[in-house]
Structures are given as C-alpha cells and as structure tokens.
Structure 1
Amino acid sequence: MFSDSPSGSFSGSIDLSLLGWNDSLSLPAGTVPARVARVDRGAAEVIAADGQFQARYSARVRRAAADDPIALPCVGDWVALDRLPEGRYELDAVLPRTSAFVRGGVSRDSRGGLSGDGQGQILAANVDIVFVAEPSMHSTDFADLGRIERLVALAWESGGRPVVIVTKADLFEQGLGDLLADVESAAPGVDVHAVCSMTGEGVDLVRAYLDGSKTAVILGPSGAGKSTLVNALAGETVMDTQQVRAADGRGRHTTVHRELIPLPGGGLIIDTPGIRRVGLYDMSDGVDLVFSDIEELAANCRFGDCSHDGEPGCAVQAALESGELPERRLESWFKLQREAAWMARRSDARLRSEETRKWKIIHKEMRKPGRSRP
C-alpha cells in the first residue's frame, strides 16, 4: 500500500502490480524485483515488495555502465535485487526496458557548433506517456515550437506516447485557441491540452492518461510548471515549487533530481529537472513522425533524392512559397535532420573505436609469454 507521506514513499507490504510489474518480466535466479524511484551516485532508491530503501550497485552493474552509460540504472527501471548475507540488498541487474527516453550528449562549443561524444544519457525508463510541458507565456514569445518538436521527436523515439501540455493557461488572456493550433501544427497526431494547475483546468484530462498502473514522465524547461502540475495530480504538495523570475521570465531549477511519484487512484509520474538543451540520440523514426507533413510533401517531389533546397519540381519548396508550409517549420526540420545525422556518425565512430580497442586488448593478451596461439 502507499504511505501517507507527502514524499510519495511507500511503507508496509507493497503490491508491485500497482507499480506496473507483470509476470512477463523474468528475473535472474535468487533475486527479487524492485522499481527504481530515484538514483544517487553508485546507488538507487528502489521500491520492492517489502518497502522502499537504498540499494548499491553490484560490480556487474558498474562494469556494464562503464562500457555503456545507457546501461546505468535510471528512474523507472525494473531491477533485480540480490540479498546479501548481512541482510541488505544489492542492485544486481537492470531488467529489459519496454521504453527509454534518451537524450544525446550534445552541447554547443564556443563557436556555436555541435560537440559531444555520441553517447547518450537516459532520463527515464519503462514510460507509457511522455508529457511535454510548454508554458503558454514567455517574456519574448508565447511558445517555443522548436523545443516542442525536439522533445516530441525524442518522445516518439523512446517508445512512449507523447502528449503536449500547454501550462499556465490562465496567463494567456487572449488567443489561447490560436496558440494551441500552432502547437498542434508542430506536433501532428499528438494530443494537445491547455492546463492551469492552480485552477484545476485540464488536470483531469492529464490524469486520465494514467489510468491503472501507467507511468508518465513530464519534461520541459524550468518554470514550465511541471512540479505544480505533479502536485495537482497528487492532490497534495509532493514537490517544491518556485515562481518564475520577473526580470527575464525564466524559471528556477526547483526539481534537482528525477523521481518516481505514485498518484492517488493509480498511475505514477516521473518529475524531472528543467531541460535547457536536449540533443537527439539514435533517431530513426522520431523526426519523421514529428514532421510527417513535410514527409508527405517530400513524397511528391519530382526527384526521389530531392534535398528540398532549390531542385526543380520540389513539392516542399512549392508548399513553402504558397504559405502552406511555414518557413520556421522547414528550418526546424532541416536542423533536426542534420543533428540526427551528426549524432549517428558520432555513434558509429564511437562504436568503431570501442571495437578497435577491444581487439587491441585481445591481441595484447595473445602476445603475452606462455599464451597459446590459434
């Protein structure tokens, strides 16, 4: 059962099916299942059938993470715990994930170019719904459509279902319908809802996505009202909140870690720190789904390898000239396509480097005195 603690912690005997456990998940012999609620350095706060506690990583988990950071346990993971002789638990394995929200290790260098190592960072696992939160009121513009497109692309790629939430709807006095239409055009086929957590507007619509034992993660910039929405869904204060700075309209980092929070009546939500910059990672279909309108136009170009940048018979450029396709959206598509291709090249180069390093180690071992040769 859930405890009455406002921290969202558990006490007593816990029915893991309330957390999404099902018997199709297989465990290594002699271990017990648990779900990761929070991650600390070298350990994780986990929820098992007999309570919520901290479990340190086994040597096997640390070795796997050294080879691939994506293998690190993260919030939402189902894990196998091994009970040690002294009575405490050790996190011995991460069970296969049904979905994973991963952002690329992309940053900007001093010249504004892309830099990074091609590796990713996993933000949440085994998520059914990805709520993309975008505040309806900014100091300079009403919504960052490019950020919405980027986060929705990553949400599709994760295996979860994206839903866009336009928060702080009470601050938008006129034209909310036009704003929602702009957001819908930036995320074709994705549900878009206006929400005001303070008044309760739209909160029930959001809660309806979490029926049963579904898990959601909420993503967006600092000041988007993520923690306020989590509190509204929980019906109590489970996350601290702060006001947006009046000077520049930017939010403060209230949430400093990712945390799995149970909700009354079922469902779980993962609150996350504000995201300033999100790089793409291992994209295959996410960008295509977000820009399905451009993909449909491109299918009508005269040439199959059209780059949509001046070729004759380009249906994409024709739509741009007629006003059917906004220039901002085409530029965003070009940008994400370039970034996805860049990340793919970086990932391929990293894999080749790791393969070369592995064979160098093997050859070095084979050259040691006393080793037999094939």
Structure 2
Amino acid sequence: MSVLPEIPHTLADYGWDSAFAEDFSLHHCHRTTDLIPGRIIRVDRGRCDVVISTRRSTSSDTSTAPVTVVPADIAPVHTSDPMEWACTGDWVALDPPSANTLATVRALLPRRTAMVRSTSSKRSEGQVLAANVDHVVVAVCLATQPDLGRLERFLALAWESGAQPLVVLTKADLATDAEYVRADTEAAAPGVQVLVVSSETGEGIDVLSAVLAGSTSVLIGRSGAGKSTLANTLLGQEVQEVNHTRDSDGKGRHTTVARDLLPLPFGGVLIDTPGLRGVGLWDAESGLQQVFSEIEELAQECRFHDCAHNREPGCAVLNAVEDGALTVRRLESYRKLLRENAWIASRTDARLRAERLRHWKMIHKSVRDSGVTRRR
C-alpha cells in the first residue's frame, strides 16, 4: 500500500496552473453550490483519493496553500465508455467533504494528455491508464534480454498519448553489456532519450531526476522491470513494496496493485503502475508513425504511394532491408503492430455502428409501443 510522503506540498506542486484554473472556473460558475479543484492520486472501485488545497477558495491563490488528501466518491457517469471514467492523474471539480459526507467528484477537467490501451473485454474499448502526463517513462530491465517488440509497443502508446516518452534501462549493476543493449534500444526508439540507471549504485539517477523535475511522469513496464525500486529511489523513501524477480526468467510478481500519484522531493509527481503483461494498442496510428519514423520516411521514396512493403517493385523499405540499413526484425514488428492497430480500429468502428443501430431500434420500438403511426 502506498502512502503519501510527509513533505510539504501545494496544489501547484501537483501540476496545477492557470490553464487548469480556467478550465475549473467554467465548471464552477455554472453551479449553485461551491466546488473545489483537486487531483486524483488513486482510484479503487468507484472511490478515489483526491489531493485538495486546505484553503477553500476558487481564487488563484489556492495553489499556494498546503494540500491534504481526502477520500471521494465518483459521481455516477452516464456513459459506458471507460475512456470517460475518472483515473489517476485527472484534475477534477468536486463537492468538498463535510463532517458527515465524503467529497464527491462531479466533473473531470479536460485532459491534456491520456495514455490509453485497449481493454481485455470483447467490446474493443479503450482504458485510460494515466491522465495529464508530461513524460511516459518506460522501464526496461538490463538483467535479462530486452524484448524490443514490447518496447516498441509501449512507445507507440506513449507517443499517442501526447506525452514525451523516455526509456530507462534499469538494474545497470547487474548488466555486463549495458552499452550494447543501450545501442539496440536507441535503434528501436528513434527520437527518444535512453538512460541507463541503477537504484543500487545510483548511476544515472541524478540525470533522470533532472529530466522529471517539475513534471507529471508515469512509470510503466513489465513486472520485474524494477519500477517499484526505481520509484522508491526517486521518492527518497520506501513508499512502494518491492519483491524479487524469479531467477529462471527474470519475471517479477505484481507488487504495485494500483496506479498511485506521488509527489517527488525534487518537484513534480510520479505515477507508478502495476506491471503490464499485455498492452493492446488503441487507435495508435500516429504513435506507430513516431516509433517507426525511419520506415515512414523510407516509404516516401517507394515507387507506389500505397506500397505495402511486401513484394512491390521499387520499394525503398525492402531495398533498405537488403542493404542492411533496416533490420528484418524492425520491419516485421512494424507490420505486426500496424495489423493489430488496424484490426482494433475495425472492431471499434463495428461496435460503434452496432450501438448506433441498437439505439435506433430502441427508438422505433418505443414509437410502436406508444401507438404512434407514421404519416403517409
């Protein structure tokens, strides 16, 4: 269970600024009762923990007052779309708590960024993992051979979110070929900074802290990647429980069970997440274009504008593979993720069409039941 470090913080330390204040004022001015702003730091089965200012005011000086954490109910949302449900990192407008009632979240402020994956349900829905994030930190363990395909998948989600991706190669103290792995990682992550760190020795922690200072960051990766240990190192205390990985395959057990937003001692906040075994793409076309930017650039030189980079003559992508400028693994990963993203998009469109058809069927049925007949 995570606890809030006992460090004085204000709402501004959690990311509150004039733009969020303006968004909040639009909700507040249309209410007859006072609302207060806050940021969700944890969600658990219809309830959440929200950090709020101790000064009950909607003026701009709210951000300078100390903060406290209060439990809150999430008001019923009249939608079945998980994309519109409250999540960790959301800024909200809520009824303040009283002596006899919990605070109640009434509205979500517009999200600047949202990291979304597809759910495991058969409805082809998106699930927001974290909101209003500036950096997506992808943790990759150096103690085992990195899965570059999985990394590319994480990076596609990160780019699509609107945040800046950052790859952190953890457990450098256990690696003998860290620079070799770093070179492979940089090749799979064009345009992304790659840092090698060790929570044990402190290597690279100062650089990582400087990058994350003053921003909202979410830490993602598979179980055993060293996320909880890295989070504790950045936070300066044992906040997250840590378990050891298995020697046989380097996999770890889930020690983080919820997404917690925690303030960093050097400024900014960090969202730690449970290990992600499976991460489905969700409408990540632009994210894939960023991850595979060199292939997208090569495709501009193909003879045919709709080249599938398979057997077409004059394909610049296939020529790059033959010349050794592009690896086969990279091209196969590109094809695989494009197919998956297209499949998710087609299922989503089909679901929306089905829901629209069901909606009109309900309207027609209600008209028939009411005895109303159409004019001929």
Flag whether TM exceeds 0.5 (same fold).
yes
Matched with 1:112 is none
| 1:357 CA displacement | 2.0
State the alpha-carbon separation in 1 of the partners of residues 333 and 123 from structure 2: 23
Counterpart in 1 of 2:329?
328
Say whether residues 1:38 and 2:51 are aligned partners.
no
Name 2:245's counterpart in structure 1: 244
- Residue in 1 aligned with 2:3? 7
CA distance in 2 between partners of 1:160 and 1:133 (Å): 16
The verdict on how the C-alpha distance between 1:106 and 1:57 changes in structure 2, with shifts beyond 3 A counting, is closer
Q: Quote the residue 1:99 is aligned against.
A: 113
Aligned partner of residue 262 in structure 2, secondary structure:
strand
Contact 1:9–1:52 (CA under 8 A) maintained in structure 2: no
Separation (CA, whole Å) in 2 of partners of 1:281 and 1:332 = 16
1:306 paired with 2:310, answer no
Q: What letter matches 1:280 in structure 2? A: L
Between the aligned residues of both structures, percent identity stands at: 50
Q: Which stretch of the first structure deviates more once superposed, 83-92 or 283-292? A: 83-92
State the AA in 1 paired with 2:136.
Answer: V
TM-fit CA distance, 1:84: 6.8
Instruction: Please tell me whether residue 137 in structure 1 is matched to residue 151 in structure 2.
Output: no
Note if 1:58 corresponds to 2:75: yes
In the aligned structure 1, how far is the partner of 2:103 from the partner of 2:174? 48
Letter in 2 for 1:36: I
Alignment partner, residue 111 of structure 1:
none
1:361 offset after TM fit, Å? 2.5
Q: Is the 8 A contact 2:2 2:260 kept in 1?
A: no
Query: Which residue is equivalent to 1:185?
Result: 187
- Shift in Å at residue 88 of structure 1? 2.7
RMSD: 2.1
Q: Does 1:17 align with 2:18?
A: no
Match of 1:113 in 2: none
Conserved? CA contact 1:366–1:373, under 8 Å: no
Residues 319, 106 of structure 1: alpha-carbon distance in 2 compared, 3 angstrom cutoff? farther
- Displacement of 1:277 in angstroms is 1.0
- Quote the residue 1:226 is aligned against: 227
Query: Which whole-Å CA distance do the structure 1 matches of 2:207 and 2:132 have between them?
Result: 22
Distance in 2 of aligned mates of 1:282 and 1:218: 21
CA drift at 1:297: 1.1
Per the normalisation by structure 1, the TM-score is 0.89
C-alpha spacing 1:228/1:365, structure 2 compared with 1 (3 Å): same
CA distance in 2, matches of 1:277, 1:16: 34
Match in the other structure for 1:82: 95
Distance 1:84 1:130, change over 3 A: closer
* Aligned partner of residue 310 in structure 2, secondary structure: coil
Separation (CA, whole Å) in 1 of partners of 2:36 and 2:227: 33
Could you tell me which residue of structure 2 aligns to residue 153 of structure 1?
156
Provide the C-alpha distance between the structure 2 equivalents of 1:298 and 1:58, rounded to a whole number of angstroms: 48
Structure 1 residues 140-199: Cα deviation after superposition (integer angstroms, max 9, x where no partner): xx21111111101100000110000011111112x3222111000001010001010111
Of residues 105, 118, 125 in structure 2, which corresponds to 1:119? 125
Deviation at residue 57 of structure 1 after TM alignment:
1.5
Counterpart for residue 63 of structure 2: none
Q: Which residue of 2 aligns with 1:110?
A: none
Quote the offset at 1:363 in angstroms.
2.5
Aligned runs of 1:353-364 on 2, under 5 Å?
Answer: 353-364=354-365
Would you say 1:73 and 2:86 are equivalent positions?
Answer: yes
**Structure 1 residues 23 and 368, CA gap change in structure 2 (3 angstroms):** farther
Distance 1:11 1:365 in 2: 58
Q: Which amino acid aligns with 1:151?
A: F
1:117 alignment partner, SS class: coil
Gapped regions of structure 2 (runs ≥ 5):
29-33, 55-67
Number of equivalenced pairs: 352
| Structure 1 Cα separation of the partners of residues 230 and 259 of structure 2 | 15
| Shift in Å, 1:98 | 0.4
Q: 1:277 to 1:322 in 2, by over 3 A?
A: same
For 1:167, the equivalent position in structure 2 comes to: 170
Aligned position for 1:49: 53
Q: Secondary structure at the match of 1:118?
A: coil
1:199 aligns with 2:201: yes
User: For 1:338 and 1:6, how far apart are their aligned partners in 2?
Assistant: 39
Contact 1:10 1:47 in 2 (8 A): no
Q: SS state of the match for residue 45, structure 1?
A: strand
Rounded to whole Å, the distance in 2 between the matches of 1:179 and 1:125 is 31
Could you tell me how far apart the structure 2 residues matched to 1:295 and 1:223 are? 33
Offset, 1:368: 3.7
Residue 35 of structure 2 aligns with an amino acid whose one-letter code is T
